[in-house]
Every structure is written in structure tokens, then in C-alpha cells.
């Protein structure tokens, strides 16, 4: 337990020092463009208590969740198929390269234009942006799958389901974790852009409103709130998953 | 139980991108009786593992080249095959119990526990393979091969890179489990004394591309002992009359009948 609390302190220390530097510089600059930490925190508190920050956070989080799940499932399936069949991989490689390099903004605009300013278009736009990066990572994993272990599955005539879930897929877990982690951070950034461009709720929409009023304290308050949520997801879901996966794989 | 017909004309691998095929096996024609323990001895690179993989159906063979009970591999009804690999090849993300259950999904908990106990790993079922020593992992591999009471058991130098006492213990374990199951066994090794100790019959392969250079039956009574006088006598006389035998050099075909072995 001692080492665990030490770890938490070590993790918090840099954050606290940044906050301290911020507070001091804002205090001395006395600029309207840089509110102090305490100002931001009190704004955050206001939004939490009498604004509807929680509603917007929940809406954004929901969009993040949907597009994350869609991107992961499609990305993992396509990645496995491309990794398993070299022919298909060669055929799809150029397409994948193009997809990887299409700017997020272009997909978002096109989705809104083609499908209208609707929720499905927003979520699709985010998922489309993420899928290629998942595919690239999973494909690498599928290429280095241990053929020796698959031979074991074949000799012992494992059922296809057992072979896939107990022999094949576990070898991809580290790759799936890595893409999930990078995916989460990428997705929530894109979700905000999507909200800013074509939604009337969510964190991105709120940020745009605050931008109109140059309400810098509120912008920072929303940023803090969402960063806290991402940290929580990392600590409560990603880390335990990591540990679970690392249990078997040396 | 299963009798085997192995007919191979040649087996080649694509050596790299050049498209050049390199032959690993040339003509091989072996019949194995049901319940027989056959050792295949040959120098490294003789294609022993390839031969074993072809018998297991992991490597392609000519149509009808491998037959179980006279039926080609492709038309084979499901039969129980156990394979003990050179490396234990356990799933690192599964516990020992889960590793065993993988090959026998319908087995009861007590059956799995009994299996672990039989290989001396009782109480270790909840551990993951990496928490075990190499010798223990091999024992799990052996337990897995016997878990489905195989009719055909294939072993690819399973005791390589083990220290002598561990190898001795595992050989005894293998022999013991084989006595109970009476499976047909193909045992690949490059260790002649190991082969003499375990096998009913030893087939010697030439160096690459492998072909059968000698095929002898071992009639020594069981239980045999490692370093026993009769075993040693057989081994030394085999090598005296066929000095190139283990190197896979087939220049001397004048094999002489000797104590305990017959051509």
C-alpha cells in the first residue's frame, strides 16, 4: 500500500507543480486572457452546480463511447483479416494509406454534407477517422501471430471458437490495448470538433459558445473536467485491463 | 489404436524468396503397427520434425501419402492425436488447468486434477506457465498430450535441453503413461540411448534429404534402464557395425544382427 500511495504522489506532483506555476504567473500577469487556477476552479464549480455541464459531459462521453466501440470492432476485424491474408493486405495497403492521411476535418464535413447534421453522421465521422489507425496496429499484431500455437490448436482439433478466443485473439491483446489507448485520446479530440461543427450540445458545442464570449475560464474549466474523466477511464478501466492481460503474457 | 502407413516420395520447402526448393525428405515408406512405439533417429536437418508434422497433418503431404488405419488423412474421421512438441507450446495466458481444458473441454475438474497429479503438478493448476520451470512446463505438455487419451502420440525431441535427472524422470513418466494408454507412438530424437530405452523399433534417417537407412526392432525386455548393460551393448554394437549411423551416412548397408536387435 505504501508503494501505491507513493506512486500516486509521484503522479500528482508534476500536475500540482504546473498548477502552481500557472497560478503564480496568472497572479503576477493580471491578464484577462489568463485566469488563475482558483478562478477556473470556481468557474468549474459553478458550471457543475448550476450550469448543465454534467449533461454536456455525458453527451460527449456517450459519443466518444459509441464511436470508440465502432472504430475498435471494425478496426480489429479488418486488421485481423489484412494480417492473415497477405494478398488482401497488398491490395488494401494503398487504400489504408490514403484513409490514414485524410484530414479529420474532411471526413467530418463530408459526413455532415452527405448524411445531414445528425447524430449518426457525427459518430460515423469520428469512427471513420479512427478505424485506419486501429487497422494498422492490429495488422502488425496479426502478422506476428505465433504459428506454433496455432499448430497446437490444429493438432488437438480445437473448435473454431476456442481456437479464436483462446489461442488467436489473446496474442492480439497487447496490440488491441495499445490501439484502444491511443484511440481514446484521439477520439475525444475529434468528437469535440464534430460537436463544434454540427451539434447543439456536448463539450465541443459549449466550448464554441464560450469562444464567442471569450470566456476563457469556462473553456479551461471544461478542459479540466474532461481531462479528469479521461484520467479516470485510464485509471479505472485501462490500467486494470493492462494488468489482467499482462498476467499471462510474460 | 491406429496403424500408420507413411509414403513420401519427396518433400521440399521453399527456401526463401528465390523460389528455389530445397528437399528435406526423399523417399520414405514406413508401416507402423497399432500400439507400436517407434523412434525415429537422425542427424539434425534430416527432416525428422517435418516428417512428424506431415503425419500430424500440419505439413502438406501427397494425397494418400499418410494413412491412419488405411484411410488417407484427408478422409479421416476425427481421431485423437497427442503431440508433444520440442517446446512445450502452452498458452501463456491460460492457467495450467485452462491449458488442459482447452484440449478436453468436457473433462471434469477432478479429471483435470488427476491428470496434473499424474505428472506431479498437483496443486499448481491455477498457475500460469511462465510461473513454472522449463521441466514443469514440459510435464504440462505431456499431460496435455495424454489428456484426450490419444490413439496416436507424436513426440518431437520432447526432452531436449533438459538436465539429465529431469529428462530421466520425464522419460519414465512418458513410458508409464504410454503403458496405460497403449497408443501408437512416433518419437523423434537424435539420442540413440534414449531411443533404445523407450522404443520397440528404431528407424534411422539419413542426413538431408532424409530417407530410411536402417530399421531395427528392439526386443530388449522392459523395463529397460538407462545405462543398463544390455542397452549399452546394443548401442555400442549398433555403432560399431554402422559407424556413420547417427550422422545419417548410409555408406555401410551391411547391418549385422546383434544381441537384442534384429533387422
Name the strand (E) or helix (H) holding B21: strand B21-25
- Interface probe for B, chosen from A86, A155, A158 (most Cβ of B below 10 Å), is A155
Contacts of B81 in chain A (CB under 8 A): 155-157
Percent of chain B with pLDDT over 70: 92
User: A250 to chain B: nearest residue by CA?
Assistant: B130
User: What pLDDT shows up at residue B262?
Assistant: 53
**What is the average pLDDT score of chain A?**
89
Nearest to A250 among B92, B144, B148 (CB): B92
Q: Is B12 part of the contact surface with chain A (CB cutoff 8 Å)? A: no
C-alpha to C-alpha distance for A97 and A79, rounded to whole angstroms: 13
C-alpha to C-alpha distance for B197 and B33, rounded to whole angstroms: 19
Q: B180: exposed, middle or buried (C-beta count within 10 Å: 0-12, 13-18, 19+)? A: exposed
> Quick check: A250 and B83 CB within 8 A?
no
Which region among B11-15, B29-33, B36-40 has the lowest average model confidence (pLDDT)?
B11-15
All 3 cell numbers of residue B214? 536402417
Nearest to B89 among A148, A157, A166 (CB): A148
Bridge partners of A173, per DSSP, are none
> Quick check: B89 and A154 CB within 8 A?
no
Q: Is A250 part of the contact surface with chain B (CB cutoff 8 Å)? A: yes
pTM of this structure = 0.79
Per-residue pLDDT of A174-215, as tens digits, reads: 899 989 988 888 898 899 999 999 888 999 999 999 999 988
Q: Is B128 part of the contact surface with chain A (CB cutoff 8 Å)? A: yes
> Quick check: B144 and A249 CB within 8 A?
no
Measured at the alpha carbon of residue A127, what is the angle toward residues A126 and A128, in degrees to the nearest 5? Answer: 90
Contacts of A148 in chain B (CB under 8 A): 85, 87, 89
C-alpha to C-alpha distance for B185 and B2, rounded to whole angstroms: 10
B261-262: strand order across its sheet: B81-84, B152-156, B184-189, B37-41, B201-205, B212-218, B261-262
C-alpha to C-alpha distance for B185 and B138, rounded to whole angstroms: 18
User: A146 to chain B: nearest residue by CA?
Assistant: B89
C-alpha to C-alpha distance for B98 and B91, rounded to whole angstroms: 9
pLDDT-derived band at B250, boundaries 50, 70, 90? low
Q: Cell 536437418 identifies what position?
A: B45
> Quick check: B93 and A154 CB within 8 A?
no
Per-residue pLDDT of B121-143, as tens digits, reads: 888 889 999 889 888 899 899 89
Q: Is B58 part of the contact surface with chain A (CB cutoff 8 Å)? A: yes
Which region among B8-17, B29-38, B234-243 has the lowest average model confidence (pLDDT)?
B8-17
> Quick check: A249 and B93 CB within 8 A?
yes
User: A168 to chain B: nearest residue by CA?
Assistant: B91
ipTM of the complex: 0.83
Measured at the alpha carbon of residue B15, what is the angle toward residues B11 and B18, in degrees to the nearest 5? Answer: 130
C-alpha to C-alpha distance for B84 and B141, rounded to whole angstroms: 6
Q: Is B107 part of the contact surface with chain A (CB cutoff 8 Å)? A: no
CA A54 to chain CA centroid, Å, is 19
**What region, left, alpha or beta, does residue B252 occupy, with left being phi > 0 and alpha being psi -120 to 50 degrees?**
beta
Bridge partners of B137, per DSSP, are none
CA distances from A168 to B85, B91, B104, B130 (A): 19, 10, 18, 18
CB pairs under 8 A between A and B: 56
User: What pLDDT shows up at residue B259?
Assistant: 45
User: What pLDDT shows up at residue A234?
Assistant: 84
Contacts of A151 in chain B (CB under 8 A): 53, 58, 85, 89
User: A161 to chain B: nearest residue by CA?
Assistant: B102
User: What pLDDT shows up at residue B107?
Assistant: 86
Measured at the alpha carbon of residue B103, what is the angle toward residues A147 and B185, in degrees to the nearest 5? Answer: 85
Specify the 3-state DSSP secondary structure of A32: coil
- Write down the H helix ranges in chain A: 2-29, 37-49, 53-84, 86-101, 104-115, 119-143, 147-155, 160-162, 173-198, 203-212, 216-233, 239-248
User: What pLDDT shows up at residue B15?
Assistant: 62
- DSSP class of residue B16 equals G
Q: What is the mean pLDDT of residues B226-243?
A: 82
Contacts of B183 in chain A (CB under 8 A): none
> Quick check: B102 and A248 CB within 8 A?
no
Tell how strand B66-68 and strand B4-8 pair up.
Answer: antiparallel
Q: Is A157 part of the contact surface with chain B (CB cutoff 8 Å)? A: yes
Nearest to A166 among B53, B83, B102 (CB): B102
Amino acid at each position: 500500500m505504501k508503494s501505491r500511495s507513493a506512486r500516486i504522489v509521484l503522479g500528482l506532483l508534476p500536475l500540482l507543480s504546473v498548477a502552481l506555476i500557472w497560478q503564480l504567473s496568472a497572479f503576477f500577469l493580471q491578464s484577462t486572457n489568463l485566469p488563475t487556477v482558483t478562478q477556473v476552479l470556481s468557474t468549474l464549480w459553478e458550471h457543475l452546480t448550476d450550469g448543465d455541464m454534467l449533461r454536456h459531459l455525458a453527451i460527449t462521453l456517450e459519443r466518444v463511447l459509441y464511436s470508440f466501440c465502432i472504430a475498435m470492432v471494425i478496426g480489429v476485424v479488418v486488421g485481423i483479416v489484412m494480417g492473415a491474408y497477405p494478398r488482401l493486405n497488398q491490395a488494401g495497403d494503398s487504400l489504408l494509406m490514403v484513409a490514414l492521411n485524410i484530414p479529420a476535418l474532411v471526413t467530418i464535413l463530408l459526413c455532415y454534407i452527405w448524411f445531414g447534421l445528425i447524430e449518426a453522421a457525427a459518430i460515423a465521422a469520428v469512427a471513420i477517422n479512427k478505424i485506419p489507425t486501429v487497422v494498422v496496429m492490429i495488422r502488425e499484431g496479426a502478422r506476428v501471430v505465433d504459428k506454433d500455437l496455432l499448430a497446437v490448436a490444429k493438432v488437438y482439433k480445437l473448435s473454431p471458437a476456442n481456437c479464436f478466443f483462446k489461442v488467436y485473439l489473446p496474442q492480439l491483446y497487447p496490440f488491441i490495448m495499445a490501439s484502444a489507448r491511443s484511440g481514446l485520446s484521439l477520439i475525444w479530440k475529434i468528437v469535440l470538433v464534430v460537436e463544434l461543427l454540427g451539434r447543439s450540445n456536448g463539450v465541443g458545442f459549449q466550448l464554441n459558445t464560450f469562444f464567442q464570449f471569450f470566456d476563457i475560464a469556462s473553456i479551461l474549466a471544461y478542459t479540466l473536467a474532461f481531462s479528469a474523466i479521461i484520467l479516470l477511464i485510464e485509471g479505472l478501466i485501462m490500467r486494470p485491463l493492462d494488468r489482467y492481460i499482462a498476467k499471462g503474457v510474460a | 489404436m491406429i496403424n500408420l502407413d507413411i509414403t513420401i516420395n519427396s518433400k521440399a520447402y521453399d527456401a526463401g524468396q528465390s523460389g528455389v526448393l530445397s528437399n528435406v525428405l526423399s523417399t520414405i515408406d514406413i508401416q507402423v503397427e497399432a500400439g507400436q512405439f517407434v523412434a525415429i533417429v537422425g542427424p539434425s536437418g534430416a527432416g525428422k520434425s517435418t516428417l512428424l508434422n506431415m503425419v500430424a497433418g500440419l505439413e502438406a503431404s501427397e494425397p494418400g501419402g499418410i494413412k491412419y488405419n488405411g484411410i488417407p488423412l484427408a478422409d479421416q474421421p476425427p481421431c485423437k492425436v497427442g503431440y508433444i512438441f520440442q517446446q512445450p507450446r502452452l498458452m501463456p495466458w491460460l492457467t495450467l488447468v485452462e491449458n488442459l481444458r482447452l484440449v478436453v473441454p468436457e473433462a471434469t475438474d477432478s479429471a483435470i486434477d488427476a491428470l496434473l497429479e499424474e505428472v506431479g503438478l498437483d496443486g499448481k493448476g491455477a498457475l500460469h506457465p511462465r510461473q513454472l520451470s522449463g521441466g514443469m512446463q514440459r510435464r504440462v505438455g505431456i499431460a496435455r498430450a495424454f489428456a484426450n487419451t490419444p490413439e496416436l502420440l507424436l513426440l518431437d525431441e520432447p526432452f531436449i535441453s533438459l538436465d539429465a535427472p529431469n529428462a530421466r524422470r520425464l522419460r519414465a513418466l512418458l513410458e508409464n503413461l504410454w503403458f496405460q494408454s497403449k497408443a501408437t507412438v512416433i518419437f523423434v530424437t537424435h539420442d540413440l540411448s534414449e531411443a533404445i530405452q523407450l522404443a520397440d523399433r528404431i528407424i534411422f534417417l539419413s542426413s538431408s534429404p532424409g530417407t530410411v537407412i536402417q530399421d531395427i526392432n528392439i526386443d530388449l525386455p522392459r523395463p529397460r534402464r538407462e545405462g543398463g548393460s544390455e542397452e549399452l551393448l546394443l548401442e555400442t554394437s549398433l555403432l560399431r557395425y554402422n559407424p556413420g549411423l547417427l550422422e545419417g551416412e548410409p555408406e555401410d548397408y551391411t547391418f549385422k544382427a546383434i544381441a537384442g536387435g534384429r533387422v
